[in-house]
C-alpha cells in the first residue's frame, strides 16, 4: 500500500533523479539557457489551476520550442502538490478579478449543488476554473521570467556529471 511515509522516501529519489538528469544533459552539451527554459516551462505550467491539461500543454509547448520533454514533464509532476495547494488561491483571485454576474464567488454555495444538481455544479465549477486560469494567464509571464532566471542561476552552479551510470537509488 502506498502511504505518506512511502511518498516521503520517494521524493528524495525523484529529486536525485532530476538532479542527475540535469547534470547528464549539461554533460552532453545542452545549453544552460535551453535547460533553464525547460525547467521554467515545467514550473510555469506545473501550477496551472486546472484539474487536467497541464501535462498535455507541457508536451505541446516543449515540442514547439524543442525543449527536453523529460525535464519539462518531470518538473511538472514534481509540482503537482504545489498545484493542488494553489488551486484555492487562484480560484478566489479569479472570483475577485472576474466578478461575473450571477457567478459563484465562493465555494460554499457550490458544495450542496454537488448532490442536488450535479450538472449545475459542473457548470459553476467550470466557470470558476476558467476564472482561475485567467488569473494564471495574467501571472504567467512573471512566473516564467522568475523561474527561468532562478533555474539559470542554479544550473550555472551545477557541475555536469562525469559518468552517465545514473544516480544510486
Reply yes or no on whether the pLDDT at 19 is more than 50. yes
| pLDDT per residue as tens digits for the range 95-132 | 888 875 445 555 667 778 888 888 988 888 888 889 99
Show Cβ contacts of residue 13 under 8 Å, excluding neighbours closer than 6 positions: 169
Q: How confident is the model at residue 162 (pLDDT cuts 50, 70, 90)?
A: low
Angle 105-57-125 from CA coordinates, rounded to 5°: 20
Residue 28 grid coordinates? 552532453
Q: How confident is the model at residue 153 (pLDDT cuts 50, 70, 90)?
A: very high
Cβ 44 vs Cβ 82: under 8 Å: no
Reply yes or no on whether the pLDDT at 3 is more than 60. no
Reply yes or no on whether the pLDDT at 58 is more than 90. yes
Q: What is the pLDDT of residue 22?
A: 76
Residue 29 grid coordinates? 552539451
What single-letter DSSP state applies at residue 83? H
Q: What is the pLDDT of residue 169?
A: 39
Cβ 134 vs Cβ 98: under 8 Å: yes
User: CA–CA separation, 152 vs 25, rounded Å?
Assistant: 14
Three-class secondary structure of residue 162 per DSSP: coil
Amino acid at each position: 500500500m502506498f502511504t505518506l511515509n512511502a511518498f516521503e522516501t520517494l521524493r528524495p529519489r525523484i529529486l536525485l533523479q532530476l538532479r542527475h538528469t540535469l547534470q547528464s544533459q549539461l554533460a552532453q552539451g545542452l545549453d544552460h539557457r535551453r535547460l533553464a527554459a525547460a525547467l521554467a516551462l515545467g514550473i510555469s505550467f506545473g501550477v496551472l489551476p486546472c484539474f487536467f491539461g497541464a501535462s498535455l500543454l507541457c508536451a505541446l509547448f516543449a515540442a514547439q520550442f524543442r525543449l527536453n520533454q523529460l525535464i519539462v514533464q518531470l518538473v511538472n509532476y514534481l509540482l503537482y502538490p504545489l498545484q493542488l495547494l494553489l488551486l484555492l488561491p487562484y480560484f478566489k483571485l479569479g472570483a475577485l478579478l472576474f466578478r461575473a454576474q450571477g457567478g459563484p464567488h465562493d465555494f460554499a454555495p457550490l458544495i450542496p449543488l454537488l448532490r442536488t444538481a450535479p450538472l449545475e455544479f459542473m457548470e459553476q465549477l467550470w466557470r470558476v476554473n476558467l476564472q482561475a486560469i485567467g488569473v494564471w494567464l495574467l501571472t504567467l509571464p512573471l512566473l516564467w521570467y522568475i523561474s527561468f532566471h532562478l533555474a539559470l542561476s542554479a544550473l550555472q552552479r551545477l557541475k555536469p556529471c562525469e559518468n552517465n551510470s545514473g544516480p544510486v537509488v
